[in-house]
Structures are given as C-alpha cells and as structure tokens.
Amino acid sequence: MTDSTNLDRTFHAIITRLVETGRASHYTELATDLGCGVEESRRALHDLMATSYPAWLHPDSDLIAVFQPFSSIPTQYKITVDGHQKWFSQ
C-alpha cells in the first residue's frame, strides 16, 4: 500500500480524525476509515511513517506519537480553537 494515492488517503484519514477529535487514530480505527483490513491499515500507517513527513510512532508500538502539527502526547503547547482545547502541539 505504498503508492502515493494510498499514502494520501492514509494521511487524510489520520489528520481528519486528529482535527475532529483531538486524538490520533489507532490502526484499527484507521482500517474503518480506509475501508480495508486491520493488518493492511497497520502497514499503511507504517508506510506513511517511513516517508519524510514529520511524524512518528511511540517507540516499539503502532501508536501515533506525533503527526505534525499535532502531538498525541500532552505537552505544554496547548492548541485552543473557538474556546475548545483538545489538541497539543510539539
């Protein structure tokens, strides 16, 4: 699943969920968003993380730690939009 169309779809699904919910997708949720199997979505996540996009997984896991400009790990950099703080930046 390394072609640019699938990488774009994976990116879009992750960033959309981050903007909407304030948290990054787990690859099982990503499977639903992409309309594919769980293992295929896990591979798609890893394929996207292997590109030059500034994002990475928490060490030794399949959990998104940072997906610029957002951080899944709470930091001192809180992002507030329309009075709602549900995002963190790196």
Instruction: Kindly report, residue by residue over 27-74, the tens digit of the pLDDT.
Output: 999 999 999 999 999 999 999 999 999 999 999 999 999 999 999 999
What does DSSP assign to residue 73? S
pLDDT at 2 over 80: no
Cis geometry, peptide bond prior to residue 69 (ω within 30 degrees of 0): yes
Which residues is 71 bridged to in the sheet? 66
What is the average pLDDT across 12-28?
94
pTM (2 decimals)?
Answer: 0.89
Structure tokens at 7: 């990488």
